[in-house]
Structure 1
Amino acid sequence: MTETTLTTETTETTEQELTDKVVASFDAAKDERFRQVMRALVRHAHAFVRETRLTEGEWGAAVEFLTAAGRITTDTRQEFVLLSDVLGISMLTVAVNEPGPDESTESTVLGPFFVQDSPGIELGGDIAGGATGEPAWVEGRVTDADGNPVPGARVEVWEADDDGMYDVQYGDATLAGRAHLFTDAEGRYRFWGLTPTPYPIPDDGPVGRLLDHAGRSPMRAPHLHFMVTAPGFRRLVTHIFVAGDAGLESDSVFGVKQSLIRPFDRHGAGTPTPDSRRLEGPWTSTAFDIVLRKE
């Protein structure tokens, strides 16, 4: 056995002994789930350092990156959610928490721009609230897996305007492009929104620099957010995406699922609308039926 081999084995033993010691430091944790998660975190983080032979300078740069993410985070911008999204961790968390394939509507990422206490609208109302964009009529039905309607389900929707900006990014406290409504006795919902357009996730911070360094685009495929809740059912967080858009294959947060792609049919100016609304320009329409999973 050569001196180099002995040195390598000694180093590996010392490294593993450190990992084992840190893992064992959580043995007295009172919460079993906390103990399980922290032990796994230590094992995988230490394995990453060993695999990459991470330098002290590289680890220092990582700490600076996380510090910058914390500094840029506000009540209306969550840089750590963006980081989770672009690394695919958000979608992986969604995947591992899906009970398994069934008839229910698939989930996708929440995203960083959800806001509590959105305005309420009546069925057929308009969520735009001053946000600019092409009008889109959206309708559908909320049911359980057996096709039974879910009346009174809360349907929360939000989206960016045609400049690719969410209301909270403007910093003026005006809520636009978001609202909630409730399904009728037959589980049906309907509203006016905006035809989704592609937009970049906020890329003026550390996550944007990470994407630029990786040669990746910050663009999201055009989409409309949904959050649907009803007593006795699992909360559903999902989107619908615009069929035929070129960005479906390169969504920056890996959120696109085939079952969530919907055609937005185009209608010329003057075409009658489902609710007889008078529109001066073109508009689109789509249908999205939602199946909730029981608790």
Structure 2
Amino acid sequence: MPAAAVEDSKTHKFNPNFTQQVLAATGQNVNPRVKQLTHSLIKHLHDFARENELTVDEWMTGVELMNEAGRMSDSKRNEGQLLCDVLGLESLVDEITYKLATDAVDEPTATAILGPFYRHDAPKLEMGSNIVQDKQEEGDRTWMHGTVTDFKTGKPIEGAVIDVWHTAPNGLYEQQDPDQPEMNLRGTFTTGKDGKYNFYCLRPVPYPIPFDGPAGKILQALDRHPYRPAHIHFLLRAAGHKPIVTQIFDRSSKYVEDDAVFAVKDSLLVDFKPFKGDPNAEFELPYDFKMATFEDAQNRTLNGSTEESAAV
């Protein structure tokens, strides 16, 4: 054994050359970004294992957790994404991706995580429609309306597509609940020349994320609750503009200060106002969306939403 290796073995509890050996196995034709990400991941994983002196049993517990997440995932549930949510990873990636110059006078609508219950094929509805398909559905009927504008010019955006979805009063999205109509509480709306939108929905309620799988096991192990504050999901797309994936949160809702997936932002808090004069709604929710063009997004180091590639 070379003298240097003998010296290393005396000063290190574990083989100090092992990680470098794994990194060196990478081929010459690898994509540079793939190399950057995988090498960084390998280094952090190895450091984590060494720092915590990870045992085989503990490692296998983690492997089985990931395997279980894969087995539970399908077109209606993404347990792997949910696992990332409760660990704060998706919200962190959203923050990293959505970078905005600190000297901005105004800002586009803030992003928030997509969540695991988005569906690509929500029905296209006319303005003023009701996304509540079950007319017997209990809950506070709400008239939501606003304008989609360019955050820099303030001009309305024609042709902006607004994709909206939220849970029923029982705290379940329609694909979780066989008793709900297909695509209940979902819809897409396209703005006209004035950039305005409006539709009927329900005032959302707090609800627990699914905790019957790996994400729930993590929460239980960390002595954490599974609840999310009341919120409505949105995905906005418009020609020439960066898509926006976001959520708006009922300011008065429980768990606003303690969201299980760490997605709440101050600028996304809203107030539901009592609404009179409309027999179809008990509450009104005015909210304007501001979008950035691709050029403005690049100039202001605004990279867009976490889920742009997944949702669009």
What TM-score do the two structures reach when normalised by structure 1? 0.91
1:1-295 equivalent positions in 2, closer than 5 A: 9-12=11-14, 14=15, 16-101=16-101, 102=104, 103-130=107-134, 132-145=138-151, 146-171=153-178, 174-267=182-275, 271-273=276-278, 278-279=279-280, 283-295=282-294
Q: Any stretches of 5+ residues in structure 1 without a counterpart? A: none
Name the count of aligned residue pairs: 280
**Amino acid corresponding to residue 123 of structure 1 in structure 2:** M
SS in 1 for 2:212: coil
User: Deviation of residue 27 (structure 1)?
Assistant: 4.3
| % identical aligned pairs | 34
User: Deviation of residue 294 (structure 1)?
Assistant: 1.0
Deviations 1:194-228 (A, max 9, x none): 10100000111121121112110100010000100
Do the aligned residues in 2 keep the contact of 1:219 with 1:252 (CA within 8 Å)? yes
Q: Aligned-residue CA RMSD in angstroms?
A: 1.7
Cα distance in 1 for residues equivalent to 2:29 and 2:50: 26
SS in 2 for 1:248: coil
**Amino acid corresponding to residue 62 of structure 1 in structure 2:** G
SS in 1 for 2:142: strand
Cα distance in 2 for residues equivalent to 1:35 and 1:231: 33
What TM-score do the two structures reach when normalised by structure 2? 0.86
Q: Closer, same or farther in 2 for the Cα pair 1:115/1:223, shift >3 Å?
A: same
Do the aligned residues in 2 keep the contact of 1:108 with 1:238 (CA within 8 Å)? yes
User: Deviation of residue 49 (structure 1)?
Assistant: 0.6
Query: Match of 2:309?
Result: none
User: Deviation of residue 246 (structure 1)?
Assistant: 2.5
Do the aligned residues in 1 keep the contact of 2:159 with 2:239 (CA within 8 Å)? no
Deviations 1:108-145 (A, max 9, x none): 00000000110111111111111542211111111112
User: Deviation of residue 6 (structure 1)?
Assistant: 7.6
Do the aligned residues in 2 keep the contact of 1:27 with 1:35 (CA within 8 Å)? no
Cα distance in 2 for residues equivalent to 1:120 and 1:143: 21
User: Deviation of residue 234 (structure 1)?
Assistant: 0.6
User: Deviation of residue 107 (structure 1)?
Assistant: 0.2
